[in-house]
A and B are shown apart, each in its own frame.
Chain A
Amino acid sequence: MIWEVFRQEKTGGYHTHCGNVHAPDREMAQQYAAIQHGRRKPTNSIWVVPRDEIGEINDDEVAFGGTTDRSYRWATAYNTTGEDASEVVESEDEQADAEKRRGEA
């Protein structure tokens, strides 16, 4: 049985996928994952999930974000001038970054 492994580096972070292990049951999967994925890289917590329980949908099946121009959904589309509050600037920067990476994908 294959178990997908998600590692969280430190408290409060996100669990991100880092690989998978063979194991007959959950307890063994946790132990293997701890050894394979939690030994060298900084690790605070690990999740193991049976592969069969994971649903996937990918960009062959669906156009993520739609196929029409939706620039109106981005902060970067609005040129209100002047000083923005720092949290608005931060959000806009995050959006600009996501937009750029979508363009590259």
Chain B
Amino acid sequence: MNVGAVKERAGPREFSPADDLPQEYREAATRMIEFHANSEIMGAYLERPFIRQAPSIDRKLAFSAKVQDEIGHGQLLYRAAESLGVKTREEMLDDLANGDGKFLNCFHYPLKSWVEVPMISFFVDGAAMRRQATLRRTSWEPYAHAMDKVCFEEGFHVKHGEDILKELMTGSQKEQQMTQEAFEEWWPRIIQFFGPTDDDSTHHDFASSVGLKQKSNDDLRNAFLDQYIPKAEKYGLEIPDEPRIRERDDGTYKVEEGDLDWDEFFTIAKNEYEPGVGQINGRKHAQEAVQWVRDTIETDTTAASGHAPQAAD
């Protein structure tokens, strides 16, 4: 199939590994799914310390289940990406470790205290879910199938995150104030989750013309704001003055994009933002520290079956 034929046929779940697809499609899909997979992993590493810091046993249990889910999402997505035949899972994980792998802007920032946790597990997970729900109709079938399972699980993350926010915002005066401060710090980053406006997005046109991407950055961002601004306000959070957000006549919202720090965003996009570099290296060290576990599994499997195992799924 050439690119023209792909564009013509492009529809939800249209292409599978059985199809003969042009390199351009395979590379675009790999870039998109690898980014998504890396983000699941880096998000999980960012949240992991808060399993220990969670304030109650219920929160610890739920939060550890959530972090475990995210690692699982990463695994599912590396499989979906690998099935395009462009990069192996090993190559993607190595690139993530050596700083070449790209991932979501929000996961480049440090997460310092429990009041910041709902900024990720309610707002960022909520934003991610908004996007992932549309990706159930992506044209790469293995990606769509991964999204079925991911979306099934995400409802718990978002509701649990909202429950943490609700608890903090009905807690002591100090907790409410600290949560508001965390919200002010995170709010612009959360809005940037959806990337720049469509005119400035480099990969949008091709990805949407071949059905990989189902909704534009602008549509997703606006849909998110419509749903989550009222939510934030309901729990007593005040929306910061900047970035300016205009309410349209129909009650929907629009962000003044010039108010956002795009220099920082693009520094992050190149993996050059200092806290993010630390997080990349932190994950790399964690990965190396448990190399012996993977080695043991591989050696045992080889000894037992008498031949080298296939990719260790």
Contacts of B65 in A (CB 8 A): 70, 72-73
Contacts of A87 in B (CB 8 A): 129-130, 132-133, 151, 154-155
B231 within 8 A of A: yes
Residues of A within 8 A of B166 (CB): 80
Is the CB–CB distance between B156 and A82 below 8 Å? no
Pair B13/A85 contact, Cβ less than 8 Å: no
In the complex, A84→B126 CA distance in Å?
10
Assuming the contacts A70-B65, A80-B166, asked whether A88 and B159 have C-beta atoms less than 8 A apart, the reply is yes
* A85 in contact with B163 given A12-B13, A73-B65 (CB within 8 Å): no
Tell me the bound Cα distance from A94 to B151 in angstroms. 9
Find chain B residues with CB under 8 A from A11 CB: 13-14, 16, 141
Which residue on chain B has the smallest CB distance to residue A85? B227
In the complex, B61 has a CB within 8 A of chain A: yes
Chain A residues contacting B230 (CB-CB under 8 Å) are 83
Asked if B249 is an interface residue, CB under 8 A from chain A, the answer is: no
**A-B CB pair tally, cutoff 8 Å:** 88
Indicate if B12 sits at the interface (CB-CB under 8 A).
yes
For A78, what are the chain B residues with a Cβ–Cβ distance below 8 Å? Answer: 156, 159-160, 162-163
* Nearest A residue (CB) for B166: A80
Q: Is A75 located at the chain interface by the 8 A CB criterion? A: yes
Most central of B133, B153, B158, B231 by chain A CB within 10 Å: B158
* Contacting residue for A14 out of B58, B145, B158, CB 8 A: B145
A13 to B12, CA, bound (A): 10
A70 partner residues in chain B, CB cutoff 8 A:
61, 65
Interface string of A62-89 (1 = CB under 8 A from B): 0000000010111101101011111111
Q: How far is the CB of A77 from chain B (nearest CB, A)?
A: 8
Bound CA–CA A68/B159 (angstroms): 22
Answer yes or no: B292 CB below 8 A from chain A CBs.
no
Nearest CB on B from A55, distance (A): 12
**Cβ contact within 8 Å between A75 and B62:** no
Q: Which residues of B contact A14 (CB under 8 A)?
A: 145
Task: Contact check, B163 vs A88: say whether CB atoms are below 8 A apart.
Answer: no
Determine how close the nearest CB of chain B comes to the CB of A86; give it in whole angstroms: 8
Are B12 and A12 touching (Cβ within 8 A)? yes
B234 within 8 A of A: yes
Minimum distance in angstroms from A18 CB to a CB of chain B:
18
**Within 8 Å of chain B (Cβ to Cβ): is A9?**
no
CA distance A78 to B156 in the complex (A): 8
- Extra inter-chain contacts (13) besides given A11-B14, A12-B141, CB under 8 Å: A12-B14, A72-B58, A75-B159, A78-B162, A87-B130, A87-B151, A88-B129, A88-B158, A91-B151, A91-B152, A91-B158, A95-B155, A98-B152
A to B CB contacts below 8 Å, 5 in the list: A12-B141, A72-B61, A75-B155, A82-B234, A87-B132
